[in-house]
Amino acid sequence: MFACRRYGRPRRCIFYIFAFVISQLVFILILLRNESYDDLLASGQLHRNNDSGKNYLDWSEFISHRRKGLEVYYQYNLHLSDTLGVIRKLPSTRHCSCDSRPRNLPPPSSCNVSVVISFHNEARSMLLRTIVSLLSRTPKEYLHELIIVDDGSEDVTLLDDLRRWMDVFLGTRDRLGLIFLVNQERMGLIWSRNRGALLASGHHVLFLDSHCEVNEGWLEPLLERLAQDPNLAVSPILDPIDPKTLSYRRGNEMLKGGFDWSLHFHWLRRRLANQELPEMPYKSPAFAGGVLMMSRDWFLKLGGFNAYLKIWGGESIELAIKLWLCGGQIEIVPCSRIGHIFRRRHAFDFPPHLDDHQLSSAQETYLHNSKIIAESWLDEYKSMFYALRPAARRIPLAHTYDEMRQLRGEWQCHPFEWYLRHVSPELRMHFDELAATGTLRNEDRCLHATHKDSDLILVSCHLSDITQWRMLRSSGQLSTQRELCLGVAIGRRIALAPCGRNGTARMAQQWLRRGTHLLHAETHLCLDNPLKDRLELSPCRSQAVSQSFQFALEMESRT
């Protein structure tokens, strides 16, 4: 500082000092980040290969091979992934009692695990971090084998390079089986996971995504639960890793997995029973995402993931329904934590679709898969699915689902009604609450709420994302899936507003049904569309077609 003053350029000098301090800080940070990797080397869990001419443990060499992909290609921060190192310390996200609880584990000879990782176009650094975290944080004696399936990735040398890298990495470590499989043509996640599971020889099979980091002690709590009940399937809590910052956060153990009548996945609130603690394992109608573990034999006995499903989508919902109905159960185990990157968009393409230009290929694949689930498992409730996803009717299926129904007979599976009654009261309540649902038709048009500004318009009923309405029995409210209700605003204007829970807001949204007419309870006027494109209220006229509104699905009247 003194020198700065002497040379008369204090500002510039301060800037240099500041820059120096920052560069030192960055340097220290880099050192800290690599520390855990060096720790692993020092502790003997990683081995450098001194004999080979090439140092395959050089992480930067391994990952440098294919850097062409941009961030959009992977849908996460590739640069950060490449600079994070092969392993990093993760925050402990589970409840502290999980660390101290004594575990009651059977010997490895009766409960070891085969891990199946299928990937399509995953960044090398990400895939490697998934594998290294698994190998470093899993007790050796319980990890039977690792089955890695390259599902037609563009990086064609990846698997060979990985094989060599792993040879060096594992050194003389014994007991771990390694199977590398390549699908020359991309077959999709469902087919690939089944292929891996068929070859697996461990007692249990764990399906893991290729962009995960397992946290300390992830396996033991899962094994402990599976030892209690061989027909159980378990999920860890998935701790979200942010796709942009790759920061690792704590997943929520107050959520269960579930789905709606369109067969879309949803998180459901978990309610604690008396004496139940948040960190205790809990039953769930569906898995918490695609990471799950169960007995290999039980998985194969159930036919694995339904092989009629294409590429990606719906497979874990299908497995969940199948499990529950055919004698199994699903639990989420909060003491087990696995980090997973939840990407905002798919990082991969779906095969070109048939002839329905209303749907993207991804939507069509998902709808195709959902239709198979509905046809195979939903029994008479499939009409709910078709009412909400009318476009599914147009999707051709290659099979009739007799085979699945036959299996249901052989396995003595319960009907879907049982699932509603015993597993997902939420889904049942939703069903019981409905008086009618689906599209709302007035003459040859359907009532649609635009996504952007929730304007009400009348459009072709075949629009792919046409609004599906729900007429609620108890409140008389008519709501969209986004919980907006049709009501009457100032000046008797028909408009959407957030569904009111009580009071005047709810009164303005109450409709009574008179045949196909919708009578507004407060004003005693009927919903009308006299000019073909604008809704209004007018005195009820029983013969007026402009006042006739038909739902795609009327629920049977029940007392």
> Which positions lie near ligand UDP, rule CB under 6 A?
118-120, 122, 151, 186, 188-189, 192, 209-210, 290, 311-312, 343, 346, 348
Least CB distance to Mn ion at residue 239 (A): 13
Partners of 183 in the β-ladder? 151
When computed from its CA atoms, the radius of gyration of the chain, rounded to whole angstroms, is 28
In the complex, least distance from residue 219 CB atom to Mn ion, rounded to whole angstroms = 19
Residue 232 carries which side chain, given as an amino acid letter? L
Rounded to an integer, what distance in angstroms lies between the CA atom of residue 504 and that of residue 516? 25
Choices 95-103, 204-212, 344-352, 500-508; region in contact with Mn ion by CB under 5 A: 204-212
Task: Give 289 or 334: the residue with its C-beta nearer to Mn ion.
Answer: 289
Kindly give, in sequence order, each residue whose CB lies less than 8 Å from that of residue 231, ignoring residues fewer than 6 positions away: 295, 298, 323, 327, 328, 329
Alpha helices per DSSP H over 96-218 = 97-100, 124-136, 158-170, 189-199
Q: Is 122 in the site for Mn ion (CB under 5 A)?
A: no
CA distance 161 to 159: 5
Shortest distance, position 318 Cβ to ligand UDP, whole Å: 14
Task: Decide if residue 209 touches Mn ion (CB under 5 A).
Answer: yes
> What does 469 interact with, of Mn ion, ligand UDP, none (CB < 5 to 8 A by kind)?
none
State the nearest-atom distance from the C-beta of 187 to ligand UDP, in Å.
Answer: 7
Distance in Å, CB of 553 to ligand UDP, minimum: 29
| Size (the chain), residues | 559
Q: Which does 548 bind (CB under 5 to 8 A by kind): ligand UDP, Mn ion, none?
A: none
Pick from Mn ion, ligand UDP, none: which does 186 bind, CB < 5 to 8 A by kind?
Answer: ligand UDP
For residues 208 and 359, which CB has a smaller minimum distance to ligand UDP in the complex? 208
Residue 189, contacted partner among ligand UDP, Mn ion, none, CB below 5-8 A by kind: ligand UDP
In the complex, minimum distance from the CB of residue 294 to ligand UDP, in angstroms, rounded to a whole number? 17
Residue closest to Mn ion when measured from CB atoms? 209
In the DSSP assignment, the letter for residue 230 is T
Q: Which is nearer to Mn ion, 145 or 209 (CB)?
A: 209
* Nearer to ligand UDP (CB atom), residue 349 or residue 455: 349
**443 and 545 Cβ atoms separated by less than 8 Å:** yes
Residue 204 DSSP SS3: strand
**305 is in the binding site of which of Mn ion, ligand UDP, none (Cβ under 5 to 8 A by kind)?**
none
Helix, strand or coil, per DSSP, at residue 177: strand
C-alpha dihedral sign at 331, 333, 339, 344: positive
Of 224, 338, 230, the closest CA to residue 294 belongs to 230
Backbone angles phi, psi at 422, to 5 degrees: -110, -20
Instruction: Return the number of the residue (209 or 331) whose C-beta is nearest ligand UDP.
Output: 209
Q: Please, what is the minimum distance in Å from the beta carbon of residue 256 to ligand UDP?
A: 17
Which H/E stretch holds residue 265?
A: strand 265-269
Residue 211 CA to residue 117 CA, distance in Å, equals: 10
Q: CB-wise, 35 or 155, nearer to ligand UDP? A: 155
Nearer to Mn ion, 197 or 519 (CB): 197
Which of these ranges, 57-65, 146-154, 201-209, 434-442, lies near Mn ion under the rule CB under 5 A? 201-209
Q: How far apart are CA 45 and CA 140, in angstroms?
A: 11
With CB under 5 to 8 Å by kind, the binding choice for 382 among Mn ion, ligand UDP, none is none
In the bound complex, what is the minimum distance in angstroms from residue 342's beta carbon to Mn ion?
7
Residue 477's contacts (CB-CB under 8 Å, 6 or more residues apart) are 471, 485, 486, 499, 500, 506, 509, 510, 511
The binder of 151, among ligand UDP, Mn ion, none, by C-beta within 5 to 8 A per type, is ligand UDP
Which residue stretch of 209-217, 279-287, 371-379, 432-440 sits at the interface with Mn ion (rule: CB under 5 A)? 209-217
C-beta of 231: minimal distance to ligand UDP in Å? 25
Q: What is the Cα–Cα distance from 191 to 183, expressed in whole angstroms? A: 10
Which tokens hold the place of 463? 């629009």
CB of 421 to Mn ion, least distance (A): 32
Helix extents (H) in 209-308:
219-228, 296-301
Torsion angle defined by CA atoms of residues 240, 242, 245 and 246, in that order, rounded to the nearest 10 degrees? 50
Name the residue nearer to Mn ion (CB basis): 133 or 424: 133
Is 135 in contact with 46 (CB distance < 8 Å)?
A: no
Nearest residue (CB) to ligand UDP, 209 versus 375: 209
* 413 binds, options ligand UDP, Mn ion, none, Cβ within 5 to 8 A by partner type: none
Between 209 and 315, whose beta carbon lies closer to Mn ion?
209
Q: Is 8 exposed, middle or buried (0-12, 13-18, 19+ CB in 10 A)?
A: exposed
Which spans of this chain sit near Mn ion (rule: CB under 5 A)? 209
